[in-house]
Structure 1
């Protein structure tokens, strides 16, 4: 079996960040919105560093203005994921971008997303769940509005809550109200940390917010006591190696700590983050990991089990995916 055909699980995928550049350019043309500076001469997303990446990301997102726009986007993203063997995916979606965190407007966007996800599951065999995500650099007040949207719509499709954005803004504890709100609604919790914020950001997210997963988390390797704590707490890391290399966090795949973290017993998973921004796919992630660390079918099966165990889905869905992937 080729690595492209191998069935996969992805836990860390930003819906807007997965938008193909051609899709965003086409939508911008339809709406007569000029965002040409978001692209290079080849039509790829163009950014200088992580902060500029966030700006380009938000510029691209600005053309997504209606539930129908998001439905079209989700259809394109799930089609791409399915072509690379993904049969279960969790998508970060933000009410900040979907109706300005107004609960009524958010419900309209969510209805469009759920309908599209159900159609994709029937036609493509890919199951999708949503993780409502507040944006850290938008501040705690806006995070509360996102948390309320999440709590009001928790259910079969919206199963988690998290935080993304600039780790240099504020501290995880500033967002405790939002995470408590989501937790009380029965949502599972994750947080971006340990990418640009260093190991202390991971420790703070785990201890202050009570999350069970960490988005990225790779900087934990700089503090082995923290690595041990993550292992003891059975925290799963949503690792995105291609993203980390593309953004210059590590100079090359062989320098990435994912294998060391795995060898130290941590539950690591593999995802693409914002694939067109980083010129990656789930197939490419697997190929590069095979090339850099000699990962074989047994290790990929381990990664799949980690991801399925940590997935924010119900038992029936988990059992179905396990049977499909022969992980039982």
Structure 2
């Protein structure tokens, strides 16, 4: 019989909440800075890693945007994405739905296509070489004006064959979903799927806004929805997927102790939960680290972990046939097949 750690290690799973820029490890950040002649306020990899200490979301975002300044050329985005895929292949990840933040790059003079081409080429190689399927989700930065998001959506229109959906990320407090109704409506009309960060730091009203105003297919995070019983009941009834990121919550002080993480409460209330890493290089763990952290802190059984893995495929933007095939892989693994 497998130990829990061994069970998690090879459990087939999908990751649905991963910011590709947030997988930029200090070693790669330092190497790309040297390759591209970018000056960083750190003189070593160790100094970069030592800076990864945050008291809230904004602390992290300040360093996150500074770090991505080393990403300049198509090859940089390729190398970043390919490194992430190699890492999660070792975690039993079979499918990924990757967020990217084009506005953070176009504002620095990097062309939209430079970013997209590098990431997409790596995703294609990852499927061919590692067997990991992938979808790409363009995220709008909510701290920037909605008009800027509309410009970015227009840039994406010619790439609907490579971008499956749109999302909303960055600073949450003070930037409710309702600010982005127009751009999300246009994106949905153009055939894009929709997701949004809500309820990470923002109030339950932001989760309801994402549901009603933006008409999303998934909620990214959603922790603070638990403060509104009617909202919880609606999320459970609709089986609205939540892409929960426990280590991120811990590192950003959304929870102070993993034993107090709301994941178990979410499960007990019938919510449709998945486990993800968010920004793994900054938050101290990839997807299996998140599975292990909640298992150890909350005492989750193998059966519950397997159900979360099934959820990750069921909540994905794969077609029904591909979902069924991946869920069958989970079942076969659980049954020792």
TM-score by length of 2: 0.90
Q: CA deviation at 1:118?
A: 1.4
Partner residue of 1:188 out of 184, 193, 196:
193
Q: CA deviation at 1:101?
A: 10
| 1:11 and 1:271 in contact (8 A); partners too | yes
Alignment map for 1:85-164 (pairs within 5 Å) = 85-100=92-107, 105-155=111-161, 157-164=162-169
| 2:194 and 2:215 in contact (8 A); partners too | yes
| 2:222 and 2:244 in contact (8 A); partners too | yes
1:244 aligns with 2:211: no
1:296 aligns with 2:311: no
Alpha carbons of structure 1 residues 40 and 19: separation in structure 2 relative to 1, 3 Å = closer
Q: 1:13 corresponds to which residue? A: 18
Deviations 1:121-140 (A, max 9, x none): 12112112111100001221
Q: Runs of 5+ in structure 2 lacking a partner?
A: none
1:225 aligns with 2:225: no
Q: CA deviation at 1:40?
A: 8.0
Q: 1:84 corresponds to which residue? A: 91
- Structure 1: how far apart are the matches of 2:309 and 2:157? 29
Alpha carbons of structure 1 residues 36 and 327: separation in structure 2 relative to 1, 3 Å = farther
Alpha carbons of structure 1 residues 7 and 42: separation in structure 2 relative to 1, 3 Å = farther
Q: CA deviation at 1:91?
A: 0.7
Q: 2:184 corresponds to which residue? A: 179
Q: CA deviation at 1:287?
A: 1.2
Alpha carbons of structure 1 residues 51 and 107: separation in structure 2 relative to 1, 3 Å = same
Q: 1:62 corresponds to which residue? A: 69
Q: CA deviation at 1:168?
A: 1.7
Deviations 1:85-114 (A, max 9, x none): 111111101221344599x94234323322
| 1:95 and 1:101 in contact (8 A); partners too | no
1:279 aligns with 2:279: no
| 1:179 and 1:189 in contact (8 A); partners too | yes
Alignment map for 1:303-314 (pairs within 5 Å) = 303-314=308-319
SS in 2 for 1:12: strand
| 2:141 and 2:149 in contact (8 A); partners too | yes
SS in 2 for 1:92: strand
Q: CA deviation at 1:37?
A: 4.7
- Structure 2: how far apart are the matches of 1:319 and 1:230? 23
Partner residue of 1:52 out of 47, 51, 59:
59
- Structure 1: how far apart are the matches of 2:258 and 2:298? 9
Root-mean-square deviation (CA, aligned residues, Å) is: 2.2
Q: Going by fraction, where is helix more abundant, 1 or 2?
A: 2
Q: How many residues align?
A: 326
- Structure 2: how far apart are the matches of 1:325 and 1:98? 37
